[in-house]
């Protein structure tokens, strides 16, 4: 179950990375129709006015979506059949797993709206943010399938937990602002693709300011987790999160001052996905629900309890012979 859930996380992240490649290569309208690629062809054939490479990039992303949908269905089936402790189906896991195939179907419908509206930046932003929400559901499933059914118990003071939640909320705001920057700038698509009517310098500065705020919050979180002696996994994840945010800032400034090359922007998006996954894992590492009891181990423990209290041997009479099973000096 852990491996299949991990495959769901990788697949959910992969569709964001490939989708970013479609947009950054100006291939978003390589297939100008939906669900077909063109009005006369399902595959990337015919003449659409775009270069053939754009058609195949867009069509290839649609094929990737089909493959990821198959993985999502496998995740759901695995969660449906998963009974780790012999106590029945885990409904919490089933609901989290169902979000993956359902979300991909919703993404496909949104993708059609994006194409039919000629890459309207509002719909493109919603498309991206829904993908990040699917990643969150996949990460939650991966964590929850390794935990027990008990109530969550915080491993740090509640104030620290709320502070970490606030940092993740700021991260979500920064990601949303990033979609506005892309939808405003030259990489929103070809020259005739609609854009947000906002000053690029202004929205970029806002995005950077949120990034600096996030960096400060994560630095404080690293220090606080050390002071409260947080679990080792949480401390390590906080350091990893800080390193990824530092790399993100370096990539962001490099792409801005070098004229927004598509390769650097793609690296920026990829790092944003890694930051999002790490931040969510950090939140889960700050609380505990116990461990999943293995079914066979549970039976063995029950058998041990049944036979764990054998009758005590009767005491020997004073001065009498010791029982035969008593070691002799």
Whole-prediction pTM value? 0.83
Encoded tokens for 60: 């290839």
pLDDT band at 320 (very low <50, low <70, confident <90, very high): low
Model pLDDT for residues 172-218, shown as the tens digit of each residue: 999 999 999 988 888 776 667 788 889 989 999 999 999 999 999 99
- Rounded to 5°, the CA angle 270-273-276 comes to 150
Environment class of 327 (CB within 10 Å of its CB; exposed 0-12, middle 13-18, buried 19+): exposed
Tokens of 26: 């100006």
179 within 8 A of 129, measured Cβ to Cβ:
yes
Q: What is the pLDDT of residue 246?
A: 95
Q: What are phi and psi of 232, to 5 degrees?
A: -60, -40
Encode pLDDT of 8-35 as tens digits.
999 999 999 998 888 888 787 778 788 7
Instruction: Please state, for a pLDDT cut of 70, what percent of the chain lies above it.
Output: 85
Q: Flag whether pLDDT at 252 surpasses 50.
A: yes
Contact 190, 48 (CB under 8 A): no
Tell me if residue 97 falls in helix, strand or coil.
Answer: helix
User: What value does the mean pLDDT take over residues 77-102?
Assistant: 87
Contact between 28 and 58 (Cβ < 8 Å): yes
Q: Which pLDDT band, with edges at 50, 70 and 90, does 326 fall under?
A: low
**DSSP of 176-207:** HHHHHHHHHSGGGSSTTS----S-HHHHHHHH
Distances (CA, A) of 238 to 13, 147, 214, 245: 20, 21, 13, 11
For the segment 256-313, what is each residue's pLDDT rounded down to a tens digit? Answer: 888 888 889 999 999 999 999 999 999 999 999 877 764 434 444 433 444 444 444 5
108-119 residue pLDDT tens: 899 889 888 888
């Amino acid at each position: 179950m852990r491996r299949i859930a991990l495959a769901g996380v990788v697949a959910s992240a992969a569709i964001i990375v490939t989708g970013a490649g479609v947009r950054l290569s100006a291939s978003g309208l390589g297939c100008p129709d939906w669900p077909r690629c063109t009005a006369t062809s399902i595959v990337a054939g015919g003449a659409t006015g775009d270069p053939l490479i754009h058609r195949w990039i867009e069509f290839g992303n649609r094929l990737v979506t089909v493959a990821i949908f198959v993985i999502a269905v496998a995740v759901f089936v695995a969660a449906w059949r998963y009974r780790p402790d012999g106590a029945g189906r885990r409904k919490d896991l089933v609901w989290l797993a169902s979000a993956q195939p359902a979300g991909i179907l919703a993404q496909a419908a949104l993708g059609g709206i994006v194409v039919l509206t000629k890459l309207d930046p509002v719909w493109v932003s919603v498309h991206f943010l829904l993908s990040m929400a699917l990643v969150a559901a996949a990460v939650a499933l991966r964590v929850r399938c390794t935990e027990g059914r008990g109530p969550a118990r915080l491993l740090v003071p509640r104030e620290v937990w709320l502070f970490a939640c606030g940092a993740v909320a700021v991260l979500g705001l920064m990601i949303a602002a990033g979609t506005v920057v892309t939808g405003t700038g030259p990489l929103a698509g070809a020259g005739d693709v609609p854009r947000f009517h906002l000053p690029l310098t202004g929205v970029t500065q806002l995005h950077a300011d949120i990034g600096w705020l996030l960096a400060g919050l994560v630095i404080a979180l690293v220090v606080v987790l050390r002071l409260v002696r947080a679990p080792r996994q949480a401390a390590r994840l906080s350091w990893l999160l800080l390193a990824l945010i530092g790399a993100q800032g370096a990539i962001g400034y490099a792409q801005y001052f070098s004229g927004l090359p598509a390769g650097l922007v793609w690296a920026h998006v990829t790092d944003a996905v890694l930051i999002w996954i790490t931040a969510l894992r950090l939140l889960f590492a700050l609380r505990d629900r116990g461990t999943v009891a293995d079914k066979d181990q549970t039976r063995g423990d029950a058998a041990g309890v049944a036979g764990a209290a054998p009758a005590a041997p009767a005491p020997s009479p004073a001065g009498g012979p010791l029982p035969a099973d008593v070691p002799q000096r």
